[in-house]
Amino acid sequence: MENTYTYTARNADNPEQVVIFTLHDHALSVGIGAPLEHVERVIRAKTAEETEAESEHVVQPWLKPMAISMVERATRPFDVDDVDARSADDWLQVRAWFRAGGLRLTSVTLIEGRVDNPEAAQAFVQELDERKAPVTSLARLLGPLDYWATWFMAGFLMVVLLETWRRGRGGEAG
């Protein structure tokens, strides 16, 4: 891919915890640095409670593909405009928004904590900000309409106003 930028965020306190961010054009892909050994360790802990025969032939073959599949689904690429990253000293926070029906539904924190290379974290935040579309005054004005909660509250308010108006007109006639 052309125009890619990859940053590996490693936990300063636990270097085995890794998140890999790859910017490609206007998208951000996230790779959870959960090596297969970590997944296997969790599986072994779960299967240790089961009998030896079950753990070897039933539980383990089912859990490994499910765990990998869940990680892959949760880390689909995000549009850079739906990602917010902040870095201060050795602290990095990266949040992204999931969309439903084209509107922002909920956010997820991809990483928050101390990282082992704060300079690289700051460079990643700057690169992400440079790839975002410039925010126009119209986009800033329409920004709140990009959330499901805004439309829900507007619909609720409309129902309340219509009901109040209907009752008011009904009171005039009677």
pLDDT score, position 55: 46
CA–CA separation, 92 and 40 (whole Å): 28
Domain layout of the chain by residue ranges: 4-133, 136-174
H or E element at residue 151:
helix 148-173
pLDDT score, position 72: 53
Condensed to tens digits (0 to 9), the pLDDT of residues 86-102 reads 999 999 999 988 887 77
Decide if pLDDT at 45 tops 90.
Answer: no
User: Of 67-71, 107-111, 138-142, which range is least confident?
Assistant: 67-71
Question: What percentage of the chain carries pLDDT values higher than 70?
Answer: 64
Q: Which residue has the higher pLDDT, 16 or 62?
A: 16
Condensed to tens digits (0 to 9), the pLDDT of residues 97-129 reads 888 777 777 788 888 999 999 999 999 999 999
The pTM for the full model equals 0.62
CATH architecture of 4-133: Roll (2.30)
CA 120 to chain centre: 21
CA 159 to chain centre: 33
Backbone angles phi, psi at 9, to 5 degrees: -95, 120
Tokens matching residue 50: 């089961």
CA–CA separation, 103 and 106 (whole Å): 9
